[in-house]
Amino acid sequence: MFTEMGARRRRLRASLGDRGQALTEFLVLGGLAVGSLGLFVRPWMPAAAPWGFWLPAVFIVGFLLIEARRQAAARAAEPETLSTRYDWIALGWSFGCALLGAAAFVIAWSAAPPAPPEDWSPPNSAVSVDISP
């Protein structure tokens, strides 16, 4: 499996170039990181998009399922055409998970903070007012 993942990276580098392959991996990993770790920026963000924490696990499980399906299909088909097809499927899955991660962050970032309790007022020492008429 790791041999095929390395071969997939080499094929991606051959088709997109060094910078294209690096940019693609950066976007995918950045989307996953922002979608899960970026939810800790504000205290109310995890409650706004809790599914963001599951994205790395969903990404890995989906990637393993794609690889298992490729290995099962490799027994019956020509490996070169099969590799190209599954490369695009894996790339699409990666970008889909990265976009979901970015969406989780945007949804959580734009969520309104919870309203303070109705009877809340700032402590007297927090606001000093020296206004005299």
Is the dihedral angle over the CA atoms 25, 26, 28, 29 positive or is it negative?
A: positive
Q: How far apart are CA 13 and CA 7, in angstroms?
A: 10
What residues does each domain of the chain span? 2-110
pLDDT reading at 131 higher than 70: no
Q: Around 60, how many Cα atoms within 13 Å sit in the side-chain half-sphere? A: 4
Average pLDDT over residues 67-89: 78
Q: What is the mean pLDDT of the chain?
A: 83
SS3 state of residue 131: coil
Q: How far apart are CA 21 and CA 73, in angstroms?
A: 26
pLDDT tens digits, residue range 34-58?
Answer: 888 888 888 888 888 888 889 889 9
The residue to which tokens 């095929």 are assigned: 4
Report pTM: 0.73
